[in-house]
């Protein structure tokens, strides 16, 4: 009997690439804008934004306008520059290596939260379209609730022609990724990096890994374990 098709699905931000790289790409666009329009040195503006995001995310643009005495009304415009910019991103070698290694035996995909137009530009910049079989923009699926709602996970399984029980989801967020995947009936693998949240937050995951290099072997073990219970 031919084996039932199986899939490995991935979160995007923080899983297949460091989300900070997108943030810095947006800051570079902001820095270029304030130099062109307001005469602020772009390198100084970028350095300030990069420092500010390490102190606490969410107030970087306010710090920029305060430091260079720019009008407060400029902040919403700068937010839109970040949202609309064409990101300059590079897919980490480990991500490309793992996706290529999975292709012969697995169907692969991405399920990502966030505004679909922004996420689509990230996918294009990272060159992911040729490396996976499908990309699901979670907020454009079902009721638009995004992960951890079941709808985007189930949509990915449908597109790939696999049962949810034969899919493994890999992500870094204990709620959006791990709880969402398990709620959809998928195996859930938590990518935990030592600088991130405590590994105990992944207690609901079927497996915990520290590198994407572990995905092929862990995914196979999880699927084989489920098959062992099928009569």
Tokens of 129: 């379209």
Average pLDDT, the chain: 92
143 pLDDT more than 90: yes
Q: 42-59, pLDDT tens digit by residue?
A: 999 999 999 998 876 789
pLDDT mean over 150-162: 98
Q: In the prediction, which pLDDT does 3 show? A: 74
Q: 182-210, pLDDT tens digit by residue?
A: 999 999 999 987 655 555 554 589 999 99
79 pLDDT more than 60: yes
pLDDT mean over 169-178: 95
34 pLDDT more than 70: yes
């Amino acid at each position: 009997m031919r084996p039932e098709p199986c899939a490995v699905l991935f979160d995007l931000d923080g899983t297949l690439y460091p989300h900070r790289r997108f943030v810095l790409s947006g800051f570079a666009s902001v820095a270029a804008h304030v130099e062109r329009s307001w005469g602020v040195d772009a390198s100084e503006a970028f350095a300030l934004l990069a420092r500010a995001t390490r102190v606490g995310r969410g107030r970087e643009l306010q710090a920029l306008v305060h430091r260079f005495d720019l009008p407060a009304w400029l902040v919403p415009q700068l937010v839109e520059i970040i949202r609309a910019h064409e990101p300059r991103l590079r897919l980490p070698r480990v991500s490309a290596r793992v996706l290529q290694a999975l292709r012969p035996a697995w169907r692969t995909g991405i399920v990502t939260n966030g505004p679909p137009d922004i996420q689509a530009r990230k996918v294009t910049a990272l060159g992911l379209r040729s490396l996976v079989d499908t990309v699901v923009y979670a907020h454009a699926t079902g009721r638009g609730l995004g992960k951890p709602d079941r709808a985007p996970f189930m949509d990915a399984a449908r597109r790939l022609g696999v049962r949810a029980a034969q899919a493994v989801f890999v992500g870094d967020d204990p709620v959006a990724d791990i709880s969402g995947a398990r709620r959809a009936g998928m195996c859930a693998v938590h990518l935990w990096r030592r600088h991130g949240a405590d590994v105990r937050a992944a207690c609901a995951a079927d497996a915990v890994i520290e590198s994407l290099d572990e995905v092929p072997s862990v995914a196979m073990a999880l699927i084989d374990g489920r098959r062992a219970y099928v009569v």
